[in-house]
Amino acid sequence: MADNKRTSMFNFFLLSVSMVGLCLAPVPASAQGRKLSFGVNGQFKILQVADMHYANGATTRCQNVLSSQLAHCSDLNTTAFMSRVIAAEKPDLIVFTGDNIFGSDVKDAVKSMNAAFAPAIAAKISWVAVLGNHDQESTLSREELMKHIVKLPNTFSKVNPPEAAHYIDGFGNNNLKIHGAAESSLHNKSVLNLYFLDSGDYSSITSLSKIYDWIKTSQQFWFDKTSKRLQREYNKEPNPQQGAAPGLAYFHIPLPEFWSFDSKNAAKGVRQEETGSATTNSGFFTTLVARGDVKSVFVGHDHLNDFCGELKGLNLCYGGGFGYHAYGKAGRQRRARVVVADLNKKGTGSWGDVKSIRTWKRLDDQHLSVIDEQVLWTRSPK
């Protein structure tokens, strides 16, 4: 992280370039008309950005950093970190898992969101955003936020899936299909399915005020229905596949089952604070396990937790705190989570279905250090 004027000026330059790119980039008529696919290297890489807490740019000071860093640290450090990690990882998709802006400190929600997403837009990388519990605390409601987000360049975000818009709770629920590699037999079939859900902000039940929200029955119904439909598509002609394509789920507030882990029994990473889940268990974990296609869940919300742990065959993973206006711990680097799905190499030299899913984290230090590499899932031999 920057702690001198030269780096601060560099950060300002990065933000300026990003904002110019945002202003000049054409807004696509329909981002959903484009298709996401595995690359010629047989991989699909996702960068998770959790809890940017972006506010007003250079005037917004950092939280919980070393005293030597404080004078020159602002939202621009968040921008600089994102630009660096995008350049290093070159992801195929960026997923923003909520608290993208810190609403209570934001003067103009639209300007803050534009600035927060600017590095992804300037890099011309596909991206998706879900909302956290702080995004709507400024001038726009959750629905208004999503209606603005879906108009931004290169986003695959949706206000809600059209087939469920009349009944589903929340805003930003979405499914993305990741197709097989180009020129492979599976190039027109989704071999990896991504689910995005709105985990809400605070309970609307009067007796549960200021209690974190949860994924509702309507959202679980949509997920179950969508998962079954995707499996049918995966199993049918042409090129019918066995079982279900693996899936990943992204949302902001962790499930109560995240309480099952600490730094001792989690596969990788640490717990340094309590899990800020809802006190009501809506049963979404059970729904996910019952369907069986989702192999990992990725959340944010608790900035000092960055572990992954497996429970009943499902990995529960934190992204780790990304933003500098978000609470953290002085001396602890902000971080981002990377997930890579790898395809099976067929004997003919072409690519098949998904073989494995791996993850690691990048730290915002001098070397963008890689830590906690692990395999989340591997397909059983046929």
Peptide bond into 91 cis (omega under 30): no
Q: DSSP letters along 151-194, please?
A: TSTTB---SS-GGGTTT--SS--EEEEEEPPTTSTTTTSEEEEE
Q: 254, 316 in Cβ contact below 8 A? A: yes
Q: Indicate the fold that domain 43-378 takes in CATH.
A: Purple Acid Phosphatase; chain A, domain 2 (3.60.21)
H or E element in which residue 47 lies: strand 43-49
Q: What is the pLDDT along the chain (382 residues), one digit of tens a residue?
A: 444 434 444 444 444 444 444 443 444 434 557 899 999 999 999 999 999 999 999 999 999 999 999 899 999 999 999 999 999 999 999 999 999 999 889 999 999 999 999 999 999 999 999 999 999 989 899 999 999 999 999 999 999 999 999 999 999 999 999 999 998 999 999 999 999 999 999 998 877 777 999 999 999 999 999 999 999 999 999 999 999 999 999 999 999 999 999 878 888 999 999 999 999 899 999 999 999 999 999 999 999 999 999 999 999 999 999 999 999 999 999 999 999 999 999 877 799 999 999 999 999 999 999 999 999 999 987 6
Beta-sheet strands, E only, within 62-135: 93-97, 126-130
Q: 112, 145 in Cβ contact below 8 A? A: no
- 10 Å CB burial of residue 280 (0-12, 13-18, 19+) is middle
Domain ranges of the chain: 43-378
Q: 28, 93 in Cβ contact below 8 A? A: no
pLDDT, the chain, mean:
91
Token readout for 110 is 């639209």
State how beta strands 43-49 and 93-97 pair. parallel
- 10 Å CB burial of residue 232 (0-12, 13-18, 19+) is exposed
- What are the tens digits of pLDDT across the range 245-284? 999 999 999 999 999 998 788 889 999 999 999 998 999 9
b/e 198-231 (16+ beta carbons within 10 angstroms → b) = bbbbebeeeeeeeebbbbbeebbebbeebbeebb
Beta partners for 94? 47, 127
H-only helix segments in 71-108: 75-89
